[in-house]
Chain A
């Protein structure tokens, strides 16, 4: 089941809200969380089983392994289990195909990627390693452990929530009307980002980047990659907004996953703003255990490249993601080992700050080019068109597509900028209420007839 779907919004969510309300009353209005948690567990199970009737057993077996291993002190064994399940289910096909291309036997099976496996295995790993480090106690209630791993708002596309962040909230949480207002507003904002912006940008991306690369003009290549940069941001941050909003309505406080990433002043800064929960996962559970930056230069370079190779490869079972990770590893090394390390972006003079923003955004856009094209020959042609032009192609179509989508592109750029200090559309004002209602109505309208509306990051 996905969030941007009429069935989820108008059947699943109301049923869940009604059952939660009844459970809340049975629990004595929050004195206990027993029934409320039971409802959340049942609905999380239904949510996952709805899309993955068979792989629901994989997630259950993962929770079982985590539960036993954490209680018996065999956390490393459980981590190995999760890494192996990722290798088999996420990279199995790639391994088989690569072996076949190298002269091995033809793949006899086609392994389908279980939705959300990249996210929930990482949540399990954070739990296991935190227990091992003594940061938190092992959960003695297997249902609560299932609740942490498989809670439906963040199950299939994050954010990657740490166990210690919500450990207490699982046992006890208090929901205020401010939480509900914030949660509802955040959910509607995320829904609109997905339906009104990301889905529309997807058409522009398709019309430009999926065109015959031999016929793609330079303008079209730039327009396409800009559209994709916006699409992936609004798609993924929209999902995170919906997850954070739903979590808040249930009394959970998930950490932010995005902080205006395209306003980054350096590539390092970009990764402090983009998919924050993934960046901090690799920082805390891979980079720092490897020694971080408190090692000699060659080891530091190795640490960075390994972490970024893994970060890239986490995004998908294709070699371009590996290249994408290495690309960022190299950029970060350049930032750390050249003149650029001497000053933090905010310490620079205005021209330096502006240059930092422009150059960083340029490299981020180019990075999305590596990310988008899984076929290396198409990727090569795309970069040729992007940087060296294409004398065969004209920019007529590009001009047409640009004008056709100008409002959309302007809205996207505005939505990437910092919000004004004084909120124009506060939820406590009439325009704010109307705005939220409008987002709900228009998003609903655009979901009619859309029977397949997946989020990009659910495929990772």
Chain B
């Protein structure tokens, strides 16, 4: 009798799960993984004999489980209990937060007051001083711009953080605790590919000498926030950027944003829970680029600040770290309010993540609005990589910019509507046309490469961008 009770109990449990798996609505997309889930495979002789068909059925069944994301979150929570110290997260190293700077006596330094007499002199010479100030500012800006053009970077921000960390899944390190939690992907890229990437950019300038060509390698967060103890697990992005800077020929303008962002690491320039940077980081990068391109640039005060609260990005799913999930951040982005612009999209039809055709142009919003808690908040800019974006602005200076980018580059164009008459954005993974013809067709005057350093040191990107020149 007791045996039958056991069998019936397990059978009922099994049937309950079976019923749920078979009859509940199957999932089609995963917000956690930001992808469409597997579809039921198409039966063809080739697919069958290669095993892809049957494998596809098994994969589809496992991938499209009803309430997939919610159940996976439960599973991840369970699996975080593999060690001790709540959630399986254990920290090593010392110190958690950057200490405020202090003088040797331990008191914070305050700006020195001006001598009282200075005010009088200042009043008399005010118009002249204003001119001098403006002149100095322009000189300073020019010098600052030059400082970021094709220069070898000497200051390395690697390892300045003295923090706790753990190594989570998929080569991700999680540092800090509480609201200081930050997940970062380890970096690995070699010199040869970095040089090839820079040579590819040079090739663009050779093929299109009439166009200004800029290249802005975008560091990923680990270039700044990697704890000293964990440095040996990640490669040096500074070295790779320097490899590129040294390879660019004289006519290509390499934009060093590594040094610029390095001065702002105390600000939220990188997402803590997503692999991308934050829109604020992109602002400083766009500012540096605009200085080098010698175009006007709108101050951040001319934008409206918008928030997506409780944002947890890709790093939760990839690292499966409960600590990341438990410490959401606010995704802050900036929409221009003082100028008019029109955005036109040309969407790709994509099959198996490969573009097969282009759709007809249609107008849309450049900035998408995501609700609080939505893990796709970074898609605010243009909504997708699988499209050509053309922004027609009210700026009338004859400058037309083409940005060849990956998803990091998505955050940049929104700051350049006041700088260029037209801003065109294409993604290297999906662009289907000949770039030389595109440049000629739209009268492009400037090309900016905006890829993160991880992508920029993969052979695939070099091949893709080279192909754009000849296809």
Contacts and interface: CB of A to CB of B under 8 A. Distances in A.
Chain B associates with chain A: yes
Contacts of A448: 62, 65, 68, 71-72, 75
Contacts of A180: 3, 7
A73 interface: no
A446 B6 contact: no
Interface stretch (A23-31, A268-276, A429-437): A429-437
Given A404-B90, A406-B84, A446-B79, A440 B62 contact: no
Contact of A51 (B48, B54, B65, B169): B54
Interface string A368-412: 000000000000000000000000011011011101111110000
Interface string A203-217: 100010001100100
A396 B93 CA distance: 8
Interface string A180-197: 110011001000000000
A178 interface: yes
A444 B17 CA distance: 9
Contacts of B280: none
A344 interface: no
Interface residues of B, number: 55
Interface in B1-41: 2-7, 9-10, 13-14, 17-18, 21-22, 30, 38
- Interface majority SS on A: helix, strand, loop or mixed? helix
A445 B400 CA distance: 52
Contacts of B2: 427-428
Interface stretch (A3-11, A163-171, A310-318): A3-11
Contact of B58 (A7, A407, A441): A7
A32 interface: no
Given A407-B83, A440-B17, A53 B48 contact: yes
B306 to A, nearest CB: 33
A400 B92 contact: yes
B79 A200 contact: yes
Contacts of B128: none
Most chain B Cβ neighbours within 10 Å, of A6, A54, A178: A6
Contact of A404 (B3, B65, B83, B229): B83
A212 to B, nearest CB: 8
B232 interface: yes
Interface in A431-460: 432-433, 436-437, 440-442, 444-451
Contacts of A405: 82-83, 88
A264 to B, nearest CB: 27
Interface in A1-41: 1, 5-8, 10-11, 14
Contact of A50 (B54, B93, B166, B233): B54
Contact of A181 (B6, B14, B89, B167): B6
Contacts of B233: 211-212, 215, 397
A296 interface: no
Contact of A53 (B5, B22, B49): B49
Contact of A445 (B57, B78, B232): B78
B384 to A, nearest CB: 23
A1 B166 CA distance: 35
Given A7-B58, A433-B9, A451-B63, A401 B167 contact: yes
A310 to B, nearest CB: 30
A440 B13 CA distance: 8
A445 B3 CA distance: 26
A200 B82 contact: yes
Given A177-B3, A407-B81, A445 B75 contact: yes
Nearest to A201: B82
Contacts of B159: none
Contacts of B167: 207, 397, 400-401
B262 interface: no
A446 B72 CA distance: 7
Interface string A223-254: 00000000000000000000000000000000
Contacts of B360: none
Given A5-B58, A10-B21, A445-B71, A177 B84 contact: no
Closest 6 CB pairs of A and B: A404-B83, A403-B90, A428-B2, A7-B58, A451-B59, A408-B82
Interface of B: 2-7, 9-10, 13-14, 17-18, 21-22, 30, 38, 48-51, 54-55, 57-59, 61-63, 65, 68, 71-72, 74-75, 78-79, 81-85, 88-93, 165-167, 169, 229-230, 232-233
Given A433-B5, A449-B65, A450-B62, 13 more contacts: A5-B62, A7-B58, A185-B6, A397-B233, A400-B90, A403-B83, A404-B83, A406-B83, A428-B6, A437-B9, A441-B13, A449-B68, A451-B59
